[in-house]
Amino acid sequence: MLQTELRREHLDHELISEIEQQMDHGISADPRSASLSVLVDTLRENILTPRPELFRDAARACEQLKDAVTELSARLS
């Protein structure tokens, strides 16, 4: 959802807060997901100060994070 919002050059602050909360209390709390922290930080940097010129970078960061989470989930199953 966040990726779609960013591609439309819209930043949904509620959605970002929800994602951050889930990351802080979910997958990022598991030591097996340590490799995701760099991708999460990159995404956070791109949306920290919302500027339309960074929305494409943030959308790409979403895609990379989504792919990494999918790969990690596949390895853990």
Q: Which residue has the tokens 């959605």?
A: 15
In this predicted structure, the answer to whether residue 26 has a pLDDT above a threshold of 70 is no
pLDDT in tens, 43-72: 888 777 767 787 888 888 888 988 988 898
- Residue 28: per-residue pLDDT: 63
Are 42 and 61 contacting, i.e. CB atoms less than 8 angstroms apart?
yes
When the pLDDT of each residue in the chain is averaged and rounded to a whole number, the result is 79
Mean pLDDT score, 25-35:
72
- Residue 5: per-residue pLDDT: 78
With a pLDDT cut of 70, the percent of the chain lying above it is 90
69-74 contacts at long range (C-beta below 8 A, 24 or more positions apart): 69/27, 69/36, 72/32, 72/33, 72/35, 72/36
